Structures are given as structure tokens and as C-alpha cells.
Amino acid sequence: MKTHLGNLNWRYATKRFDENKKISAEDLSALKEAVRLSASSYGLQPYHVLVIENEKVKEQLREAAYNQPQLTESSQVFVFASYTEVKEEYIQDYMKNVAETRGVDLADLEGYANMIKGASMTLPQDQQAVWTAKQAYIALGFLLNAAATLKIDACPMEGYNGEEFDKILGLKEKGLTTAVIATVGYRSEEDATQNNKKVRKSTEDLFINI
């Protein structure tokens, strides 16, 4: 646990990356697997994750992110794209996955499927979009945690034009929208913010014991 907490103290929202240092295929695969294993409501994972390496696309995204250098200096850009609404086909596909993975009859999952549909599809569409975006943020947390464990730098980001991101990445026609992004790679020696002390609430201020 001390090692894990030390990794979390080591990490920070990296502002400048060393563009000459790239994440290995093995470590990138580990980051993806950590995101894949993320918790989500019902296990539904109502999002897709785009991993951007193409330099031309990264340049376009940088322009849509108010010219923040992380977009082009980082090794990869993770774009967490959540569903704009919850459709029955998504839930049915998930039920098929459950049945195949656990070796159960799909018909036996009908009650579970109807429960998920009742809890999610009956929400107004704007609330559905909020709910799916929350699930994407949980996956972001898994990425940041895994990156810290591997001593890979990361920067979670909300400072971008979402409509432009969706347009560049062709998300709207796929029923998706950009929920949050994270750039990953290795910190530049020129990034002065790496020397800043981490500022957080104290344990006494943050937690309320009941």
C-alpha cells in the first residue's frame, strides 16, 4: 500500500510532455486493460475509448483544445466517448456478453435486462447522457491509477471544445460524444509544475465519519 500511495503522490497533471519519449506497446496494452477492467454501473460500460496516436489528428485536437501542448507532445490521447443515449440494443449486446462469458442461458437474464432498461432508458435523454458520462469518468480514474503504477505521466483534461472533438473524431454519427480526455506519456524536464507540492484537503477536512 505504501508503494501505491507513493505512486499517487508522484503523479500530477502533467502540463508538458517529452514528445521524444513514447509509451511502449506493452505498457500501452496494460493501460488499455486497466480501462477495460473499470467498474461501471451494471457493468454496462456505456462508452468507447479512442486512443489517438495519429499526429495529424492530434494537431486537429490541439486546435480544438485551445492550443494546449499536451495534445501533441503526449505519446497518446485517450478520448472517453460516452453514449448520448441508452438504447435497447446496447443492453441486449451486454446481456449476450454476460451469457457467453458466464455460460448461462440468455433467457435467464431477461429480468436483469429489464431492470437495467427500466433504470436507464426511462430517464430523459439529457439525463441518460449525464449518466453515461459519469461512467466514463470512472474509467478515467482507472487509467490515471494504472498510469501512476507504471510511472507513466498523465493529464486528465476538460479544457476543449467538445463539439469540435466530436466532429473531428466522427462521434455524433456513432451515437457518442466526448465526455473527458486524458493525455499520457512522460513528463518534460521543462515542465516546472512537476516540482509543485501536491495540494489536497487534509484527511480531517475531507472525510466525515458518521
* Per-domain boundaries in the chain: 18-85+129-188, 87-122
Q: What pLDDT is recorded for position 46?
A: 98
Q: Give yes or no for residue 80 having a pLDDT over 90.
A: yes
Share of the chain above pLDDT 90, in %: 99
Identify the burial level of 123 via C-beta atoms within 10 angstroms of its C-beta, where 0-12 means exposed, 13-18 middle and 19 or more buried: middle
- 31-52 residue pLDDT tens: 999 999 999 999 999 999 999 9
Q: What pLDDT is recorded for position 200?
A: 97
Decide: helix, strand or coil at residue 192: helix
User: pTM of whole model > 0.85?
Assistant: yes
What's domain 18-85+129-188's architecture?
3-Layer(aba) Sandwich (3.40)
Confidence band (pLDDT; 50, 70, 90) for 170? Answer: very high
> C-alpha cell of 162?
467538445
Region 84-93: mean pLDDT is 97
- 94-153 residue pLDDT tens: 999 999 999 999 999 999 999 999 999 999 999 999 999 999 999 999 999 999 999 999
Q: How far apart are CA 86 and CA 123, in angstroms?
A: 9
Q: How far apart are CA 62 and CA 60, in angstroms?
A: 5
Q: What pLDDT is recorded for position 2?
A: 82
Q: If you average pLDDT over every residue of the chain, what do you get?
A: 97
Q: What pLDDT is recorded for position 23?
A: 98
